[in-house]
């Protein structure tokens, strides 16, 4: 039986809506402090549904690796977590996304293996220069907050409590904030990069605005989206739409 015109029209609409993108990317996502790869499940699903490959790295001592938490985990450990994922999975031409503290990590990753990276995307993230630490970037107020909430080398902010159900934020190793990032590879400066600044509704700036300004000063594209600091939770679809425009 010959299909009717309405059926054919509906079929063509479905096929068009589910077409895979002409170019597929490999995304390596680096979460922020206290978080984990678990926080990016929805973003992963949305990207994967469009044919992209996604790796959600959970940094040592966090997320499902919280059992490894200790005071000796430093920034280099977390940089190695991501470098080793890319190297051992034999990934190339990757889009590396760093959220918040993750900006410290992906900057170090780019310094180690720039040849493997297609683009860097800083999402409401630290954008450090060589010789800076996250502790330096958060300033005196941030340092005071960490000092008041650190026990046994781990930062326990007020919202991180043991009674919350899994998955959840967990204490974060202090040393990752106090370690100084040293950059030595000039080739890392040639890696394409962009910055996404998230701002609350009705606002034009937030605490990460200075790093968006750094990105502009480097000539990077800077995009602003209306969301809180964790758009992977509050606005995943809007975030994915923006991510897909950048690589």
Among all residues, which ones are annotated catalytic? 100
User: Of 110, 76, 85, 73, which Cα lies nearest the Cα of 191?
Assistant: 110
167 preceded by a cis bond (ω within 30 of 0): yes
Residue 247 tokens read as 């690589």
- Sign of the torsion angle spanned by Cα atoms 206, 211, 213, 219: negative
Which value, to the nearest 10 degrees, does the dihedral of the CA atoms of residues 135, 141, 147, 148 take?
-150
SS (H, E, C) 117-172: EEEEEEECCCCCCCCECHHHHHHHHHHHHHHHCEECCEECCCCCCCCCCCCCCCCE
8 Å CB contact between 55 and 28: yes
Placement of tokens 């096929």 in the chain: 15
CB atoms within 10 A of CB 180: 13
């Amino acid at each position: 039986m010959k299909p009717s015109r309405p059926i054919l029209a509906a079929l063509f609409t479905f096929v068009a809506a589910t077409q895979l993108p002409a170019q597929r990317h490999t995304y390596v996502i680096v979460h922020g402090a206290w978080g984990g790869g678990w926080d990016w499940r929805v973003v992963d699903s949305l990207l994967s549904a469009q044919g992209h490959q996604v790796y959600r790295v959970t940094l040592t001592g966090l997320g499902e690796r919280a059992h490894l938490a200790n005071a000796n985990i430093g920034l280099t450990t977390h940089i190695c977590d991501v470098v080793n994922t890319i190297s051992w999975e034999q990934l190339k031409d990757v889009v590396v996304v760093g959220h918040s503290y993750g900006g410290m990590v992906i900057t170090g990753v780019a310094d180690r293996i720039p040849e493997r990276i297609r683009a860097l995307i800083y999402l409401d993230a630290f954008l450090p220069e060589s010789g800076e630490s996250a502790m330096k970037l958060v300033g005196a107020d941030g340092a005071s907050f960490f000092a008041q909430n650190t026990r046994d080398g781990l930062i326990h902010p007020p919202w991180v409590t043991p009674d919350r159900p899994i998955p959840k934020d967990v204490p974060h190793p202090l040393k990752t904030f106090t370690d100084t990032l040293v950059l030595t590879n000039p080739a890392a400066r040639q890696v394409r990069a962009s910055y996404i600044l998230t701002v609350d509704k009705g606002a034009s700036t937030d605490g990460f605005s200075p790093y968006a300004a750094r990105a502009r000063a480097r000539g990077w594209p800077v995009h602003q989206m209306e969301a809180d600091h964790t758009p992977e939770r509050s606005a995943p679809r809007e975030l994915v739409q923006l991510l897909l425009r950048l690589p």
